[in-house]
Amino acid sequence: MSILLTGGLGYIGSHTAVELLNRGEDVIIVDDLSNSKIIVKNKIMQITGKKFKFIKADLKNLKKTEKIFKNNNISAVVHFAGYKIVGESLNHPIKYYENNILITLNLLKCMEKYNVYNMVFSSSASIYGDQNEMPVKETFSTHANNPYSRTKLYIEEILKDFYNSNNKFNFAILRYFNPVGAHESGLIGEDPNDTPTNLMPYITKVATGELKELSIFGNDYSTKDGTGVRDFIHVCDLAIGHALALNKLKEKPGVFICNLGTGKGYTVLETVTTFNKVNGNLVKYKFVERRSGDIAISYADTTKAEKELKFKAKYNLEEMCKTSYKFEKNNK
């Protein structure tokens, strides 16, 4: 039996593939290469010394999706595939709704037809929006405030409806905080096709000289140094979270919703300063206006992950900064 990873050559998918292969699981990766590179397939094999099947396919195509389920013995789906750039989603909402939701619907249709009952879904802490209280618990209300986040929220609702219609299914919905860092080998990491919009990939490109200077969006928030606070979590910790969620599904949890973060908030300025401390003084920055739509503070309540998944993030911010830069240098 194999675990199907949709979007498995992407940033979080590739690290999860490594984790699952290292645990002796049989993995099939499907990816349309829209925001990933085929070379990642070889890098995963190089890191793990294991082989796996790769299928290039666009899961918006139901026939192609069905062929994958028909031709393989799939026990569970870990569903990463989806567009993920907030700014782009504001300009192209239909593209986001069509892609992210249609892929999920096609997967669910095939899971039902071929009796595949377990899915881990890649959701986002961005669905919490701006909250008055920190840390953020899974029980908090949701306020997705852009099309990207709304696709995540709507998919969560679709999964719940689907479960209510047929409770043979099990869904683990993982709400990621801010994934950063890279595999310690420096072979895989975050590698966006376009100029990055997220903080860490922007920082690493300033460090290598590809970009000139980091703009820190806002230094007038009510935080200790005025810059935004985020819960940065190492992508290898996140990958372990997926392996644990797959185990959780075997206990028949129905719909299990869980934050994946460290529970610690660091400011943007602290993050840049830590990066400069561990990698040499490479990143110049300036303060600019707040970015529209940004929230001031976001960090996770990790109680549920600790209790129910036995998950505790182990990498610190220094390791996140070191490995992010190692990958960027290797990949330049």
Contacts to ligand UDP by CB under 6 A: 126, 178, 197-199, 202, 214-217, 228, 230, 268, 291, 294
Task: Name the residue nearer to ligand UDP (CB basis): 170 or 267.
Answer: 267
Task: Name the residue nearer to ligand UDP (CB basis): 21 or 216.
Answer: 216
Task: Name the residue nearer to ligand UDP (CB basis): 159 or 199.
Answer: 199
Task: Name the residue nearer to ligand UDP (CB basis): 41 or 175.
Answer: 175
Q: How far is the CB of 210 from ligand UDP (least distance, A)?
A: 13
Q: How far is the CB of 198 from ligand UDP (least distance, A)?
A: 3
241 CB-near residues (< 8 Å, 6+ apart): 174, 260, 305, 309, 311
Q: How far is the CB of 27 from ligand UDP (least distance, A)?
A: 28
Smallest CA-to-CA distance from 83 within 20, 150, 4, 178 is with: 150
β-pair partners for 3: 27, 76
**Cβ contact 176:124 at 8 Å:** yes
Structural tokens at position 70: 């028909």
Closest residue to bound ligand UDP by CB: 228
**Cβ contact 181:319 at 8 Å:** yes
Q: How far is the CB of 292 from ligand UDP (least distance, A)?
A: 10
Catalytic member of 148, 176, 299, 315: 148
Smallest CA-to-CA distance from 14 within 49, 55, 47 is with: 47
- Any catalytic annotation for residue 148? yes
- The helix (H) or strand (E) run that includes residue 275 is helix 268-279
Instruction: Report the catalytic residues.
Output: 148
